[in-house]
Amino acid sequence: MIHGVIMAGGSGTRFWPKSRRKNPKQLLSITGADSMIRETFCRLAERIPAERIHVITNSAQADGVREHLPELPVRNIVAEPASRNTAACIGLAAVRIANADPDGLMVIVPADSFINPVPAFLQVLDRACKAAEQNAAMVVIGIPPTFPSTGYGYIHRGELICEESGVRVFEVLEFKEKPDRQTATLFLESGSYYWNSGSFVWKVSTIIKALREFMPGLHAALQHISDSLGTPQENDVIARQYQGMQSISIDYGVMEHARNVRVIEATYAWDDVGSWRSIENLREHDDAGNVLEGKVLALDTNHCTVIGDSEHLIATVGLDNLIIVHTPDATLVCRKDQAQDVGKIVDILKEKGMTELL
């Protein structure tokens, strides 16, 4: 059987002040009418029944996830006791699924990606599942780059393995860390590199075996958790094992070392929605290139993103290339080219003890 895993533990600090600890980016309606996590769930639900879709989040966000995804069984919303990056997140999901379906397939996706159109995503997903069942392959979805991004990891593809209905599957030669501008330009020009989407497909048995081989410490902790599942000690064991877990991504911990890896070329539009800058690519613009939401009066204002509400008027005059986001207790104003630095505000708020704004 196929099982879906939605990774939803991120804090989304680059979307402050809208994104907060209890209501982070994935619970906001950033890319459409629904929250990002609900859009992600609905895509998976086209292929996977709700009882086999799992969300790995944290204790601060678990209640919010339940509100946005009432179809999910309560047990399928799992709150990690501490943030330990994607290797631990995926490993926890794997041992939980393995208890019920040791030979099942796992489809792992982030909660906060923009994907369109959905039928193209489903076609790629179907092909990924087929590839993962063949020779116990580990499959990653790669995004054809459209510009020399220095903010994404890259996948270097090898030989074409097969092509079916326009969807191509390649061997993976290597994973590359986030490059500098010159290297990213070379990757783009070569035509043989993909952005790493952070979406994976593999058998539960395959990933558990890979964790045992490449991350034996994490595997041992997960085995203790597996043994406790369904017992009164489950939560205590998970909390205790998480204390000593290494915080590392699945890319560094497993994928860079694994041998039988495949990359499937995405045939749909994708955006990781990493900062407020992403909004300009996902929303409609007015004649001056502005993205405006809420009660906004924009005079001689060009190429700005202004986000407010229906009660508070935001008036701008003579502005260019700015991001303005207003909430009842905080307002952000920044240049578009510094949108990636918004998360630093959250770090400063933590240092100053201003927890009410986190």
CATH code where residue 40 lies = 3.90.550.10
Say if 324 falls within a structural domain: yes
Question: Which of 197, 46, 19, 32 minimizes the C-alpha distance to 109?
Answer: 197
Assess whether 327 and 240 both reside in one domain. Answer: no
Instruction: Note the pLDDT tens digit of each residue in 15-64.
Output: 999 999 889 999 999 887 799 999 999 999 999 999 999 999 998 899 99
Mean pLDDT of 274-303: 93
Same domain, yes or no: 310 and 256? no
Which among 243, 174, 258, 172 is positioned nearest to 212, based on CA atoms?
258
Looking at the structure, tell me whether residues 56 and 130 fall in a common domain: yes
- 149 and 184: one domain? yes
The average pLDDT across 161-175 equals 93
Q: Is residue 284 packed enough to be buried (19+ CB in 10 Å), middle (13-18) or exposed (0-12)?
A: exposed
Residue 308 and residue 260 in one domain: no
Question: Is the separation of the CB atoms in 208 and 148 below 8 Å?
Answer: no
Task: List, in order, residues 6 or more apart from 154 with CB less than 8 Å away.
Answer: 145, 175, 176, 179, 184, 187, 193, 194, 195, 196
pLDDT, average across residues 158-163: 93
- The pLDDT assigned to 136 comes to 87
Does 349 fall in a domain?
A: no
Q: Helices in 30-117 by DSSP H: which ranges?
A: 36-45, 62-68, 85-100
Q: How many domains does the chain have?
A: 2
353 falls within a domain: no
Task: Give me the pLDDT at residue 352, please.
Answer: 92
Asked if residue 176 belongs to a domain, the reply is: yes
The model's pTM? 0.94
Q: 129 and 176: one domain?
A: yes
pLDDT, position 155: 97
Sign of the Cα torsion 129, 131, 135, 137 reads negative
Band the pLDDT of 242: cuts 50, 70, 90: very high
Whether 178 has a pLDDT exceeding 80, the answer reads yes
Question: Residue 155: which of 248, 258, 84, 86 has the closest Cα?
Answer: 258
- The domain boundary, picked from 271, 289, 309, lies at 271
pLDDT in tens, 127-149: 999 999 988 899 999 999 999 99
Same domain, 280 and 158: no
Q: How confident is the model at residue 333 (pLDDT cuts 50, 70, 90)?
A: very high
Domain boundary among 256, 271, 286: 271
pLDDT of residue 256: 92
11, pLDDT greater than 90: no
| Residue 352, domain member (yes or no) | no
Q: For residue 12, name the pLDDT band (cuts at 50, 70, 90).
A: confident
281 pLDDT tier (thresholds 50, 70, 90)? confident
pLDDT over threshold 80, residue 200 = yes
Q: What percent of the chain has pLDDT over 90?
A: 89
Same structural domain for residues 282 and 332? yes
Q: Are 115 and 172 contained in the same domain?
A: yes
Per the structure, the complete domain to which residue 333 belongs is given by: 276-341
Tell me if 356 is assigned to some domain. no
Pairing of strands 261-265, 269-271: unpaired
Tell me whether residue 358 is in a domain: no
What does the angle CA 239 – CA 245 – CA 247 come to, to the nearest 5 degrees? 120
* pLDDT score of 134: 83
Residues 21 and 113 in one domain: yes
Average pLDDT, the chain: 94
Res 258 pLDDT > 80: yes
Are 162 and 300 found together in one domain?
no
What pLDDT shows up at residue 30? 87
In single-letter form, the type of residue at position 227 comes to: D
Q: Indicate whether 184 pLDDT > 90.
A: yes
Give the side-chain half-sphere CA count within 13 A for 199.
30
Residue 332's pLDDT is 97
Q: Using 50, 70 and 90 to split pLDDT, how confident is the model at 221?
A: very high
Say yes or no: 145 and 255 in one domain: yes
Domain boundary among 271, 303, 318: 271
Looking at the domain assignment, is residue 355 inside a domain? no
Burial class of 90 by CB neighbour count within 10 A (0 to 12, 13 to 18, 19+): buried
- The pLDDT assigned to 164 comes to 87
